[in-house]
């Protein structure tokens, strides 16, 4: 249910929302739309394939975020109070469509999923971070995401292409977020720092200004690399995006805490 690799670089990449799998006992109770897992971070691991060859450590799940969202706190506290929340065990798609034919998971079922799926992912991520800190004295964690560029229920208009989040500077050492923003702004894509997406649970939980783990979230608007209204790879746009992501990863690999 988890794929991971241990590298020699000071960078760890987490891909918490790339999984598409659904346990059979869960899938039978879901709507057709839910079984299609439309809110997947489609192909994000493919965008960063180059980084996997540069000695980074990485971890990704095989199961969908609809089973349990690995980037939400285990107590399901709201990350953005006052805004629509998708939840630890979502009951609806980002567009508001029901995921379940009957009742959504109750508290006991949510606790079961946390024990089976949420905690093992975070144990493995913590192991990779601790190993990296032991090797280098610090670790940089990139939490890699994507989302549909238009989700009216969650935000107005079109999302910027590259959304860098550092929890308003609280998840990493001074200057790292700005350096990532500069790298993200080198191509044809729009970029913003701590805009609509400031970083989810992973960014906020693992990263600190004083370290030893320094965390940055990068949320990519999917029109930057997919064909409109589809999950199909758009080769020309994707190639341009990968070139920008190579610059971002170079910054993350070269950065050192002061």
pLDDT tens profile 135-192: 999 999 999 999 999 999 988 999 999 999 999 999 999 999 999 999 999 889 999 9
Rounded distance between C-alpha atoms, residue 65 and residue 37, angstroms: 8
* CB distance 235 to 176 below 8 Å: no
pTM of the model: 0.96
Q: Quick one: pLDDT at residue 9?
A: 98
Helix-strand-coil percent breakdown of the chain, rounded to 5?
Answer: 35, 20, 50
- For the chain, the structural domain boundaries read 2-21+40-64+117-254
CB-CB neighbours of 52 under 10 Å = 14
Which phi and psi angles does 70 have, rounded to 5°? -70, -10
pLDDT tens-digit profile of 3-15? 999 999 999 999 9
DSSP secondary structure code for residue 5 in this structure? E
DSSP for 146-211 reads EE-S--TTTSSSPPPSEEEE-TTTTTS-TTHHHHHHHHHTSSSS-EEESSS----HHHHHH--TT-
* CB distance 156 to 162 below 8 Å: no
CA distances to 89, 139, 195 from 19, rounded to whole Å, are 15, 24, 26
* CB distance 74 to 124 below 8 Å: no
State the average pLDDT over residues 18-44. Answer: 97
CA angle 200, 61, 233 (to 5 degrees): 85
2-21+40-64+117-254 adopts what CATH topology?
Answer: Aminopeptidase (3.40.630)
pLDDT at 83 over 80: no
CA distance from start to end of the chain = 37
Q: Quick one: pLDDT at residue 229?
A: 81
Query: Which residues are CB-contacts of 54 (< 8 A; sequence separation ≥ 6)?
Result: 7, 9, 249, 253
Q: Quick one: pLDDT at residue 88?
A: 97
């Amino acid at each position: 249910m988890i794929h991971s690799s241990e590298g020699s670089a000071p960078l760890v990449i987490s891909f918490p929302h790339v999984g598409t799998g659904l346990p059979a006992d869960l899938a039978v109770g879901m709507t057709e739309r839910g079984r299609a897992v439309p809110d997947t971070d489609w192909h994000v691991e493919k965008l960063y394939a180059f980084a996997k060859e540069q000695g980074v450590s990485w971890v990704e799940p095989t199961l969908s975020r609809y089973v349990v969202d690995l980037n939400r706190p285990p107590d399901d506290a709201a990350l953005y109070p006052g805004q629509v929340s998708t939840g630890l065990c979502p009951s609806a798609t980002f567009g508001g469509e029901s995921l379940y034919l009957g009742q959504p998971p109750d508290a006991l079922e949510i606790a079961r999923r946390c024990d089976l799926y949420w905690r093992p992912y975070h144990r493995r991520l913590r192991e990779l971070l601790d190993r990296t800190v032991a090797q280098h004295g610090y670790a940089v964690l990139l939490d890699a995401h994507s989302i549909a560029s238009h989700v009216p229920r969650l935000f107005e208009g079109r999302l910027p292409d590259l959304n860098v989040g550092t929890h308003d500077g609280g998840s990493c050492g001074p200057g790292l977020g700005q350096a990532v923003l500069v790298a993200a702004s080198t191509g044809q894509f729009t970029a913003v720092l701590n805009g609509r997406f400031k970083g989810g649970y992973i960014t906020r939980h693992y990263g600190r200004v004083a370290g030893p783990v320094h965390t940055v979230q990068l949320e990519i608007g999917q029109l930057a690399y997919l064909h409109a209204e589809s999950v199909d790879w758009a080769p020309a746009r994707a190639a341009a995006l990968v070139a920008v992501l190579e610059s971002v990863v170079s910054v993350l690999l070269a950065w050192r805490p002061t």
